[in-house]
Amino acid sequence: MKQPSHSQLGFTLIEFSVVISIVAIAAAMALPSLSTFIDTMDAKGASMDLVSDLMTARSEALKRNTSVSITPIGGNWSNGWRVTRTDQPAVVLRERAALRSGLSVGAPNSVVFGPTGRLVNTETDTANVSWAITSSKAGVNARCVVITPTGSARAKQGACG
């Protein structure tokens, strides 16, 4: 068997440049859809965090036989929110950090669960309360978190309405 000569081993600079160019073009084509995917997952994560905290607040209200509130930090849900026992002294049970840039939340000023686990806000005693989580970035579907007067919460894709 004849051994290949040294000049036949490996890739040429031209072959290497072509492969790198193809990889760069493929990455450039995939980048916008990856960015949209990440933004969509951020919105979904925010809605699931809110549902989780609503369930925690309801559970604590039932367990402790006291009222528990969820209020936005600084009056803006995008800054995060607090789950607080409202008995004296008030105790912060959980606090969520601000949402990622580009996400906004439209919601009521606060929600209070009574000792029975039902909503006790006078304006929300008989109607569902909803939070609309939207993104300023194109291609990202809105999310909606809905809580019934009995206290059950769920998240869904799409606008509230």
97-116 pLDDT, tens digit per residue, is 988 878 888 877 888 999 99
Top pLDDT among 92 and 10 is at 92
* Average confidence (pLDDT) over 38-65: 91
Q: Which domains, from first to last, does the chain contain?
A: 14-157 (3.55.40.10)
What is the pLDDT at residue 150? Answer: 84
Top pLDDT among 9 and 37 is at 37
What is the pLDDT at residue 23? Answer: 92
What is the pLDDT at residue 160? Answer: 82
79-89 pLDDT, tens digit per residue, is 999 999 988 78
The predicted model scores a pTM of: 0.76
DSSP assignment of 80-132: -EEEEE-SSSPEEEEEPPPPPTTEEEE--S-EEE-TTSSB--GGGSSS-EEEE
What is the pLDDT at residue 81? Answer: 92
* Average confidence (pLDDT) over 47-64: 92
When the pLDDT of each residue in the chain is averaged and rounded to a whole number, the result is 85
